[in-house]
Structure 1
Amino acid sequence: MKSQPAVTLPLPPAWPWYSEETADRVRRRVLAGDVFAFGRDPAVHRLEQWAREYFGVSHALAVSSGTAALWTAFHSLGLGPGDEVLVPTYTFHATATPLFLLGASPVLYDCDPLTARADVRDLESRITASTKAIGVTHMFGLPADMEAVSRIARARGIPVVEDAAQAHGATVGGRKTGTLGTVGCLSLGGQKMISGGMGGLLITDDSDVYQRALTMGHAHERALEELPPDSRWRAPAETGFGGNLRMHPLSAELALEHCASLDERIRVRTSVLEGLSDRLSRFPFLVPPQTPAGCTRGGWYGYKVVYRPELLSGMPVPEFVDLLKRQALRVARPSTRPLHQTWPFQNRDLGLPGYDPHGSRPVYIDADLPQATELYSHTIGFPDKHLHVPADDLLDQYAEGIARVADYALYRRERKD
């Protein structure tokens, strides 16, 4: 291959960005010492109002993180010891790990071998009499098959918790993810399309779920301000159940800037990443993200490609990634492994109250969830956090770098033959 790498252009700045106006607003609050609120802070109030309107839901609760939103959601459904909750193995760990804090048992199900969507047949096969809820993740922004999941849940009278942390603004049949189950959870942290650095949202139309959520993380002032006099959760709201999960007001100030521009930024980002997909589609050994008809990916959190080594002279994944990096492509193997490959899901003794090391809580090996195992082993991530603005020249260079690696693989095979 040529000594000069194919990619010479720099990546655009990584998301998130903030305006001078937002920086000034935060600065004024800091200088005034206006950095906490015992009740509902005005910025938090505006953020929750935006969420109710944008998602078309009755209730929105700002919390300290997406993980806190999931913990609150599971708590609000009354889950506890002895309860099983179905969750995908191919997801971020926080989709499942808050269940350990409640004493409940996550039961993992497999994913589609190409898209990482929930394998609905495998999900249904793992339901038992102890199953009390279903968790789904809209992985990499792609909505799960919520029609099938909802049908299964309705038939058994069990609630559905949506982890929409990676799918801001994604839709199914025109309906936004987070509104398709009993309760939806979003992360507003890190490099999400709406980011306050840290933060999360719980959204729901279920008043009882919302009221119970207030007791989990917003005890005393705010909960007592909002709960109706006849609410069964008003008495415990005075002390709550031990979770101080409020969103920080400065996080809300930061997140608010991104709310107004969300749909326009989704439009631009979709165009950029679809342009990347068009370029990658030229190479038969790469499968770009697949989006079924009737769905949109919203913010496309994560851009992952499936590599098929059998179509590139059998070149192993690590070697292929290394050669791409030599062409100065910013690519990498995914950092988040399927849950069944992590310690809590391979060991019964968690060292937590309520978990019997000799009990029946399921633990897993790769063969138990073969499709996620295979998909993860052949997935390659592209630098999507930098691809929020048009970058045609850069993407052309990425395509050139991949073509060079493909030519090298062909040359090496011919010499070998």
Structure 2
Amino acid sequence: MNRLTDPVPDGRAVTLPLPPAWPRYSGATAARVQRRIREGDVYAFGRERSVLELEGWAREYFQVEHALAVSSGTAALTCAYAGLGIGPGDEVLVPTYTFHASATPLFALGALPVLYDCDPVSARADIDDIAARIGPATKAICVTHMFGLPADMDALLELADRHGIPVVEDAAQAHGATIGGRKVSTLGAAGCLSLGGQKMISGGMGGLLLTNSADIHARALLLGHAHERAQEELPATSRWTGPAETGHGQNLRMHPIAAELALEHCHSLDERIAVRTAVLTGLSERLARFGFLDPPRTPAGCSRGGWYGYKVVYRPEHAAGTPIDDFVSLLQAQGLKVARPTTKPLHQTWPFQHHDIGLAGYDPQRRRPLYRDDELPHATHLYGATLAFPDKNLHQPADAVLDQYVQGIERVARRLGL
């Protein structure tokens, strides 16, 4: 038998191209953007029309009192934490199995992220581990709906309510996802969406903060939308009217052209979610036949919405013990666009293993949690066993090429003697 890294003698199984990568935009949207550029209509300090239209859509779609368009999902999380009054010395519980922006805004606020583990199978938040890490300095809990799968919000909110702690939902990967018929990003004190990159609503860059709290909304305006917009929107009786004259030092506004781009995706979101759900279901059904691959599973009563990230757990014990990197090389040789994930769990990154993170004003002598590589075992294991499929291309039907993916996996299985 040839070495596993040798070329497959009968050529690649996958010869068809995947659909073009998301995001896509219409000619009508391109014309509106070109007109704005031609007319110099590319900025606004106050209540910009396209931004307001986007926020109006968000309030109606998510049925919330307040929606604030910002420059990124990271900015939305920053606004949520600032809106809750999180500051120096406060602790916020954050998942380790998430994108780093769930935690890093806390550094800028002088707060302390405390990491918790995930479920060993689904990657959902581990509610028991959250409970064990709540302490007297805990001021909020962040939960990420990873890969579009809603966290167990009933259990989490019951725990949080018992301790009087607000919940921030990071729904950057879960546009329109639901649990029990309720949309995620509307269940906690604040919800945060990313409208950047390959998200199902994409302005290239952008984000949304959703909340039913007038106070959170006002503080977010002060942080990132002062002084014109905050002064225009805050009532004269608000405690924040005076500070609105200057604001609190950040410019986190969404760019009008980003809002124009994102608006195209808003009104067709549910239709595209239906297509994307069908693609996810079809791919998972194809992969479920292989005992060495565990595709993502969606529990009854949940939907993943416009999910972001299709991750499969590899079981080497069912693949003749083949190391994961060798297995990936074999799949790639068959033409499958698969890879190891690149975003490590937070506890494996520098800021969570060292006191000095190089941020001015963040005292390296301050006592804060640091983590060993094996201290959050479920996330460590999942990251080490995960394969990433090309989710940005799976926004429209792709049955023919996915059938070829199955053929490629079957070839690899035969080569391994399975």
TM-score band w.r.t. shorter chain: over 0.9
What residue in structure 2 maps to residue 396 of structure 1?
403
| Deviation sequence 1:262-319 (CA, Å, 0-9, x none) | 0000000110111000100010110000111111000110000000000111011000
What residue in structure 2 maps to residue 337 of structure 1?
344
Tell me, in whole angstroms, the C-alpha distance in 1 between the residues paired with 2:145 and 2:278.
Answer: 20
Unaligned residue ranges in structure 1 (runs of 5+): 412-417
Q: Look up the SS of the partner of 2:272 in the other structure.
A: helix
Correspondent of 2:240 among 218, 229, 233: 233
Tell me, in whole angstroms, the C-alpha distance in 1 between the residues paired with 2:67 and 2:399.
Answer: 38
Q: Look up the SS of the partner of 2:58 in the other structure.
A: helix
Correspondent of 2:358 among 351, 354, 359: 351
Unaligned residue ranges in structure 2 (runs of 5+): 1-7
What residue in structure 1 maps to residue 196 of structure 2?
189
Aligned runs of 1:4-403 on 2, under 5 Å? 4-403=11-410
Tell me, in whole angstroms, the C-alpha distance in 2 between the residues paired with 1:277 and 1:112.
Answer: 20
Tell me, in whole angstroms, the C-alpha distance in 1 between the residues paired with 2:113 and 2:76.
Answer: 17
Deviation at 1:366, TM superposition (A): 2.0
Deviation at 1:354, TM superposition (A): 4.7
Percent identical pairs in the alignment equals 69
| Deviation sequence 1:322-349 (CA, Å, 0-9, x none) | 0000000000001111000110011011
Tell me, in whole angstroms, the C-alpha distance in 1 between the residues paired with 2:44 and 2:34.
Answer: 17
Q: Look up the SS of the partner of 1:368 in the other structure.
A: coil
| Deviation sequence 1:373-411 (CA, Å, 0-9, x none) | 000000000011101111111011000100111111117
For 2:106, the aligned partner's letter is L
**Greater Cα offset, 357-366 or 380-389:** 357-366
Tell me, in whole angstroms, the C-alpha distance in 2 between the residues paired with 1:188 and 1:70.
Answer: 13
What residue in structure 1 maps to residue 3 of structure 2?
none
Tell me, in whole angstroms, the C-alpha distance in 1 between the residues paired with 2:88 and 2:252.
Answer: 22
Q: How many residues align?
A: 411
Q: Contact (CA 8 Å) 2:77, 2:105: kept in 1 or not? A: yes
Tell me, in whole angstroms, the C-alpha distance in 1 between the residues paired with 2:137 and 2:40.
Answer: 49
Alignment RMSD (CA, Å): 0.9
Deviation at 1:355, TM superposition (A): 3.5
Tell me, in whole angstroms, the C-alpha distance in 1 between the residues paired with 2:284 and 2:359.
Answer: 45
Deviation at 1:358, TM superposition (A): 3.1
Tell me, in whole angstroms, the C-alpha distance in 2 between the residues paired with 1:185 and 1:222.
Answer: 20
For 2:16, the aligned partner's letter is L
Tell me, in whole angstroms, the C-alpha distance in 1 between the residues paired with 2:396 and 2:111.
Answer: 43
For 1:391, the aligned partner's letter is A
Q: Look up the SS of the partner of 1:410 in the other structure.
A: coil
Tell me, in whole angstroms, the C-alpha distance in 2 between the residues paired with 1:355 and 1:66.
Answer: 23
What residue in structure 2 maps to residue 415 of structure 1?
none
Tell me, in whole angstroms, the C-alpha distance in 2 between the residues paired with 1:380 and 1:87.
Answer: 24
The TM-score with structure 2 as length reference comes to 0.97
For 1:222, the aligned partner's letter is R
Q: Look up the SS of the partner of 1:234 in the other structure.
A: coil
Q: Look up the SS of the partner of 1:318 in the other structure.
A: helix
Q: Contact (CA 8 Å) 2:96, 2:115: kept in 1 or not? A: yes
Tell me, in whole angstroms, the C-alpha distance in 2 between the residues paired with 1:383 and 1:136.
Answer: 25
What residue in structure 1 maps to residue 414 of structure 2?
407
For 2:333, the aligned partner's letter is R
Deviation at 1:3, TM superposition (A): 2.6
Tell me, in whole angstroms, the C-alpha distance in 1 between the residues paired with 2:115 and 2:22.
Answer: 32
Q: Look up the SS of the partner of 2:220 in the other structure.
A: helix
For 1:52, the aligned partner's letter is R
Q: Contact (CA 8 Å) 1:69, 1:201: kept in 2 or not? A: yes
For 1:72, the aligned partner's letter is C
For 1:113, the aligned partner's letter is P
Q: Look up the SS of the partner of 2:114 in the other structure.
A: strand
The TM-score with structure 1 as length reference comes to 0.97
Q: Look up the SS of the partner of 1:290 in the other structure.
A: coil
